Structure 1
Amino acid sequence: MPRLIPYLPWAVFAVAAFVAVLAAALLAGTLERQTRADLETAFAEARMDWVEVATDGLRVHLSGTAPDERARLTALRLAGGVVHSARLRDTIEAQGAAGVVSPVFRIEALRNHDRISVIGLVPAVQGAGAIVERMAAIEDEIAVADMLQSADHPVPPGWEQAVDYALGVLTALPVAQVSVTAGRIEVQALVASDAARQQLESELRAAAPRGQVVILDLEAPRPILSPYTFRFVLDEDGTRLEACAADNDDDRDRILSAVRRAGANERLTCTIGMGMPAPRWAQAVELGVETLAGLGAGTLGFSDTDVALRVPATVAQAEFDRAVGRLETRLPEAFTLTAERREPDPDSVAEDDTLPELRATLDTEGRVLIAGRLPDERIRGAVTAFANARFGSEAVTLEARLDPELPSGWSVRALTALEALAELNSGSVLMRADRVDLTGISGNPEASDRVTRILSDGLGADARLAVRVRYDEELDPVAQAPTPERCESRVQAVLAARKITFAPGSAQLDSDSRAVLDEIAEILRECGELPLEVAGHTDSQGRAETNQRLSQERAEAVINGLLERRVLVAGMVAQGYGQDNPIADNATAAGREANRRIEISLIRPEPEPAARDAELEAQLVFEVQTPDADDTRPRARPAPN
């Protein structure tokens, strides 16, 4: 026994090692079984019974025959959500109804700042590794999760250009999702603002490779609203929603539905933004609107959780007291109500021209005239500096006299009024000690909301405001952005007013047509490169072959003329139709004149054919039934004579 004692530690170590190896093996087996079970459950829930799952340690092997390539990629994407893509190995084959079909090459890439995930099928000659390397080179230390597969099939036309464009998008946009197939590119991305979205959309469309259908879905993040504002007016002029804010689509719909029930039927907008001061904001606004609608006249304002309800003297005192009591008891916690019944209503009496005021007027040329009273020279200098900064020093004229007896807070109110006026394209603001009246026109559909928020924030939730801002779509840079369809419409409007004409029997533009081409070129330079067909048409006089050739030469002459005017013409196609498509009667001189024309229109992609599901078609069963004696039968045809 003493001889065995020196060997006792080694025996203990050997036993411990054996136990550790056994535990590791058991744990690995447990992980394998759990991984396989999770994948089989996921595939079963997705009704992908054709996928076979096998595990080898930490590696997972997928095999089977997919009904089509789309199903194979869906299976890989589903498996990637259960285990890391680096552990996946697949030998799945895609098969159609009549054997193996050519694969559909596709890339789905998602970038979130320093991470890119990419999945899909690419041609073997191009190689998945080359694409992943280019993605990894976008920025230093960017991580790429690679789930690309390759297939040894010919590279489809346009594929390489589409991939280059997609990589350019991922390079330019830190948060984006790009889907690429040969002939179609889809981009989803976040942008900083509506203005940035407009510029980016124009740049992406201009850079799109020829022959590709580009679908853009660019969204601006929700703005932060402070204060969170709502303002609704019922008066002799009708109903007006002057400001509205909501946290999400459901809250916005709830608020606007309440406003419509209260009688508003004009175009309504409500800004969705962050900063909602209380979880039950929409409920509180809805209760306030219902209360004001029941009273029939007045103003309802929310500034964060401060609520102001004002009604004119025409509302009975007893009815007002009852409505206020009901609203106070039903408003959610955190909201504070201030209610006032004015006697008489200041908006209905004649103006007292002895009261001090300050008026600022912004005309359509951007010039601002500030007149009225200011308390001292220091404040007049501050107002001048502020106005110069907001409107431009060359545009501001100050004609305000000094009055040291003005109410306290006059300077703050003056600066706030000017800040609100700066949100308009044109308008005026009248400021008095007891209220602020602002009217004007804006190309921003949310201008009324922004103006009311500025005034409420600067003057307080209980300030008496009258805001009347009209939205004019003609002044809206977003609504007037040069989309392909809008550019086409503008060009066609020019051609409808004045034709492009040529010397008889020639492709030489006449002098009048040069002015028309100048006008079209000015439009197209704003639109970037567009896929346009320039079509030439003639009347029916002369030989058909000669007319066709002449119409082709005239269409080419128009494109060359646009090129000389610095228009991007790479996406344009000249097409001569000769006399084949008349729009008037060639038997009359007026008809022949109408038929001699140039048309410019967008080249729109052919709609993709609906994909057929061979598996579902194979399951269709047509059962032939034999009618019995109870079935209704058609009347017999009369026998022939």
Structure 2
Amino acid sequence: MVEDASGTVSKAGEGGSARAPRRWRPAVLLLGLAALALLAVATIATAERPVEAELTARAVGVLDRSGESWAAVSFDGRDATLTGESLAEEARAKVRASLREMFGVRIVKDETTLLPERRPFTFSAVKSGKTLALDGYVPSKYALARILAAARATGATVTGEDRLIRARGAPPGDFAALATFAIAQLDRLPSGRITLSDGALAIEGRAADLAGYDALRATMEGPLPQGMTLARFAVRPPVASPFLFIATRDPAGVRLSGYVPSEDARAEALRALRGLLPGVDIRDETRLADGAPATDLWLRAVRLAGRALAAVPGGRVGLADSTISIEASAPDFAAYDALTAIRRAPPEGFQITRFAVEPPRVAPFAWKLARAPERVVLTGYAPSDEARRLLVDAARGALPGVGVVDEMRLASGGPSPEAWATASSFAVAQLAKLRVGAAQVTGARVLLAGEALDSASYGTLHQAAAQPPAGLAVDAGAVRPPAISPYVFAVRREGDALTLSGFYPDEAAHQALRATLERDFLKEKLTDVSAIGGGAPKGFLDAAQAGLSQLARLGTGEMRLSDTQMRLSGTVLRPGADAEIAGELARRLQAPFTTEVALEAAPPGAPATAPECQKSVNDLLVRATILFDSGSPRIDRRSLGLLDRLAFSLARCPGTIVEITGHTDSDGAAAANQLLSEMRAEAVVGYLADAGIARGRLSGAGYGTARPVAPNDTEAGKALNRRIEITVKEGASQ
């Protein structure tokens, strides 16, 4: 149907349908027009789609080639719309111009924006265990993608993607390359932080080990990516425990090893050591580490090491945390004294726990203990502080109340510790037995000198010297017995017992005195309570023996010698013996000795029968023998005491007959022996008669070699055959 000009609607040609009613004609016309419009739009749209797609593809290529991938483009027909965030106004203009010049583009609508500018342009990453937190600015989505990829490649859990904001102000060059390099360095630490500010990198944290620290430091101090500078390297080395610093000196110089707490501390330590060791080559092989004491205290300890090594040509000083060890061999006492002074004054916060300094070598290695009444002085050398301390303690323990002055020096070259201890113990034990004196040890030889504390100490000291510990040679010849004043010596005779008391000057004199008692007395029981003592007067032994020979003639009595005064007291057994004894003493004692004699007659013995007298005589002759001068009838003076006792016994039985018979040995002619035996018998008869035995009771006879009691072919047998026999028989009273 077609709407005409008059607005009426006609039917179709004849033969067709009937004409529509006039009222429908406007509606039909409108529907036709709408359909025609839709058809036109569809036709246009269908025609524009290939054009927009083509333009978009061409525009993306242009943007890619221009390097401005930040921009996005869309087309409405031939009209382009630009969107995106630009880093610079120049980039926006460049994009617009590129699209306007593109064929087929009618207009370019610019809806891009300019990114905010950030100064400084910062980027940071914080690593904590397995987590990596990112923050800061990135210049583009492309840079963001690269940075995220590098962060995830470390294997850590990455957070903070939403805190990475695109912004202008990035330094020239490839910012993503700078960030990924920084993240790679951070990944070498167990934990830490990197910060990029413009192109300056700061890195901090703590290295896992020294190798990792050294490698990271070498990287950061080496060539960095273009556009990057190192603003701050605050990575701490690992904690060293113990924190060691060792300085070793040898002929080549001083080698430093171990750790230093910082580069500044290293420089200060080297400066101090070079000042203390001028001209000495110092090789620094130390490494940075954490864990040191306070730096100022640590540097004081380093200076101590320098002073110690300056004193010796070779040695080692070690610092371990807050302890110090010193090892060296001192060439002389000056060096040893210097090290000892250092040992006494460690720096604040430190203590010297090991002092293994070998003292200077000496030869001969000797030491001495000198004792005065009130103190003991130790001089010479000791092998170690411990040995010296033990010696001082031993001296104080052995000599309580006596001051001990230690003037010893430590030295090397001495005996083994075992030998030193043996000699020390022995010397101190002997020194305790001296009132004054000294014990000097040279090697394994001990020399003792001085005055013994008392007689017992003198004896035990000499016994110990005679049997010293194995390995020791002891000379105690210069040890004197204790000085005695007044010098007293006494022998008391009572009954059949002798008591020896007081002092003698030496063992030879002691034995001589005992021999006199054995020879001149009658084998009485001897109680010896005498002791050795110094201070005996000159001529002591001769005087004492002279007194004993007269004491032998007494029934009971005592001989006492006090310095040079002798007193003899007791009872005599026959008349006139007191005068003889006094005269004999006066004759034998020489000045300065003097005598005092206080003798009295012994009470007469109880009357006895002949058998009783015989028994008494036999007991005496069993205990002693009447002696004569060799080849002579003259009675030996040593037998006068025996004869006095025989006379005293015979006086108890006045109604008896006493026969005296002499015998000799086989030496000499028989006639001579016979005559000698008769003369000796007569000599005894004469002595007894002078002693008060009635001459008529006495008879003498000699039998020479007859009636031997032992074979004459030995000296012992001959001695037994030379004898006087006394027989007591009943007889008339005289």
TM-score (normalizing by structure 1): 0.29
* Structure (1 or 2) with the larger CA radius of gyration: 2
Task: Report the TM-score, using the length of structure 2 for normalisation.
Answer: 0.26
